[in-house]
Amino acid sequence: LRPDFIPLKTKIPAIPALLRAPEFVISAHRPSQWPPDEGAEVVFAGRSNVGKSSAINAIVQRKGLARTSKTPGRTQQIIFFALAPQRHLVDLPGYGYAKVSADLKRHWEQTIMQYLAERQALRGVVLVMDIRHPLTPLDEQMLGWCGEAGLPVHILLTKADKLKRAAANQVLQRVSKAFPSDAPISVQLFSAQDQTGLEEARNQVVFWLQDE
Ligand SMILES: Nc1nc2c(ncn2[C@@H]2O[C@H](COP(=O)(O)OP(=O)(O)OP(=O)(O)O)[C@@H](O)[C@H]2O)c(=O)[nH]1
Ligand SMILES: [Mg+2]
């Protein structure tokens, strides 16, 4: 026994080089604050408190990069992180949070729609859903906007640690079958807590960011 060595069976996939040096750029209230619309960008969207910021932190392996919270409505601006020159990850405010004013809701909705429709650098949307409550009406609305903008969507069924494996796989099958097979939509299980699906999610993000 050589306890000072990692057992050979242990598989630790390396984090892709592109994801290794993330930096906060700006927390933008207004479109005029967005970084120049150049290069390639991937956005994380989803309901309030679903785990978007936690997913970003897991994917770049930086616990405190995107601010997370038990309190819904934590991410209130569009937050840009740079991975490399002209390579961004974007954290959107969550939708569906009841305790904000109608005015603020409308402002977020319009900003998010404008971002999805206009942003040339945007290569794909990571749509984060709680595996226990997938495909809510607001998720369907977001899928509709992505479809209109011609954006591919990769769905993370997150908090998969909350379900047994068989139950999680049932949800995966059900959500996968909800779309036509030729739709540019993919689905996977994910957990920021136990790292389920981490490599798959990283590969998707890197694929989009490399694609010119
Ligand atoms: N069990 C479990 N909890 C998670 C997971 N991901 C996030 N959480 C928890 O869910 C809560 C919300 O996480 P955030 O990452 O802040 O969610 P968000 O979608 O960014 O929230 P807003 O910015 O407020 O919209 C926190 O208490 C996290 O610890 C996960 O994979 N498993
Ligand atoms: Mg957040």
Per-position DSSP letters for 73-132, written without gaps between them? T---SEEEEEEETTEEEEEPPPB--TTS-HHHHHHHHHHHHHHHHH-TTEEEEEEEEETT
Q: Whose CA is nearest to atom 13 of ligand 1?
A: 51
Q: Give the ligand whose atoms come closest to the C-alpha of residue 45.
A: 1
Report the pLDDT value the prediction gives residue 107, as an integer from 0 to 100. Answer: 83
The helix-helix angle for 198-210 and 52-60 (nearest 10°) equals 80
pTM metric for this prediction: 0.93
Report the pLDDT value the prediction gives residue 99, as an integer from 0 to 100. Answer: 75
The three-state secondary structure class of 19 is helix
Question: What does 130-199 look like in DSSP terms, one character per residue?
Answer: ETTS-S-HHHHHHHHHHHHTT--EEEEEE-GGGS-HHHHHHHHHHHHTTS-TTSSEEEEE--TTT-TTHH
Report the pLDDT value the prediction gives residue 2, as an integer from 0 to 100. Answer: 58
DSSP label at 5? S
Residue 66 CB: number of other CB atoms within 10 A?
Answer: 24
Residue 194 CB: number of other CB atoms within 10 A?
Answer: 11
Query: Which residues face 178 on adjacent strands?
Result: none
Report the pLDDT value the prediction gives residue 125, as an integer from 0 to 100. Answer: 98
Q: Whose CA is nearest to atom 2 of ligand 1?
A: 159
Task: Please say whether the beta carbons of 130 and 158 come within 8 A.
Answer: yes
Tokens standing for residue 143? 């899928």
Report the pLDDT value the prediction gives residue 109, as an integer from 0 to 100. Answer: 86
Q: Give the ligand whose atoms come closest to the C-alpha of residue 48.
A: 1
Report the pLDDT value the prediction gives residue 206, as an integer from 0 to 100. Answer: 97
Point out the ligand 1 atom lying closest to the alpha carbon of residue 46: 19
Tokens 């969507």 sit on residue? 153
Point out the ligand 1 atom lying closest to the alpha carbon of residue 91: 20
Q: How many Å lie between the centroid of ligand 1 and the Cα of residue 153?
A: 20
120 burial (CB, 10 Å; 0-12 / 13-18 / 19+) is exposed
Q: How far is CA 142 from the centre of its chain?
A: 13
pLDDT per residue rounded down to tens, the chain (212 residues) = 556 766 666 666 789 999 999 999 999 988 999 999 999 999 999 998 999 999 999 999 999 998 887 776 666 789 999 999 999 999 998 888 777 788 888 888 888 999 999 999 999 999 999 999 999 999 999 999 999 999 999 999 999 999 999 999 999 999 999 999 999 999 999 999 999 999 999 999 999 999 55
Point out the ligand 1 atom lying closest to the alpha carbon of residue 194: 31
Q: Which of 44, 54, 56 to mutate to test the pocket of ligand 1 (most atoms within 8 A of CB)?
A: 54
